[in-house]
A = this chain, B = another copy of it.
Amino acid sequence: MEKKKIIIKEVGPRDGFQMEKAIIPTEDKIRIIDRLSESGISKIQFTAFMHPKAVPNMADAERLCREIRRAPGVAYQALIANQKGYERAVAAGVEEVEFTLSATESHNKSNVNTTTEESFKRIEDCLKLGERTRIAGGVAVAFGCPFEGRPPVERLDWIVENFRGLGIREVTMADTAGVGDPRQVYAVFSHLLEKYPDMSYCFHPHNTHGTAFANTLAAIQAGVTMVDTSAAGLGGCPFSPGASGNLATEDLADILENMGYETGIRLDVVLDAGRMIREVVGHSDSATLKSGRLSDLFQGAVPVQHNH
Task: Give A residues with C-beta under 8 Å from B.
Answer: 143-146, 148-153, 177-179, 181-184, 186-188, 190-191, 194, 207-214, 217, 241-244, 247-248, 251, 254-255, 258-260, 287-288, 290-292, 294, 297-298, 300-308
Cβ-defined contact, A209 with B291, below 8 A: yes
Asked whether A183 lies within 8 Å of B306 as measured between CB atoms, the reply is yes
CB distance from A3 to the nearest CB of B (A): 13
Q: Which residue on B lies nearest to A301, using beta carbons? A: B149
Give Cα distance in the complex from A82 to B182, angstroms. 40
- Asked if B213 contacts A210 (CB within 8 A), the reply is yes
Chain B proximity of A273: nearest CB distance (Å) = 18
| The one of B150, B188, B213, B217 that contacts A301, using a Cβ cutoff of 8 Å | B150
A-B contacts, 22 of them at CB < 8 A, read: A144-B298, A149-B298, A151-B304, A179-B294, A179-B297, A182-B259, A183-B306, A184-B259, A191-B307, A194-B307, A208-B287, A209-B251, A209-B254, A209-B255, A209-B287, A210-B212, A210-B287, A211-B213, A214-B217, A241-B290, A242-B290, A244-B291
Q: Answer whether A259 and B183 are a contact pair too, CB < 8 Å, given A207-B210, A291-B244, A297-B144.
A: yes
Q: Identify the closest chain B residue to A188 (Cβ).
A: B304
Please indicate the chain B residues that have their CB under 8 angstroms from the CB of A190 in the complex.
307-308
A242 in contact with B292 (CB, 8 Å): yes
Q: Which of B149, B212, B287, B288 is the one whose CB lies under 8 Å from A300?
A: B149
Query: How far does the Cβ of A113 sit from chain B's closest Cβ, in whole Å?
Result: 23
* 3 interchain residue pairs of minimum CB distance: A149-B301, A242-B291, A214-B214
Q: Which of B152, B207, B210, B308 contacts A186 (CB 8 A)?
A: B308
Return chain B residues, CB-CB under 8 Å to A191.
307
When C-beta atoms are compared, the residue in chain B nearest to A216 turns out to be: B214
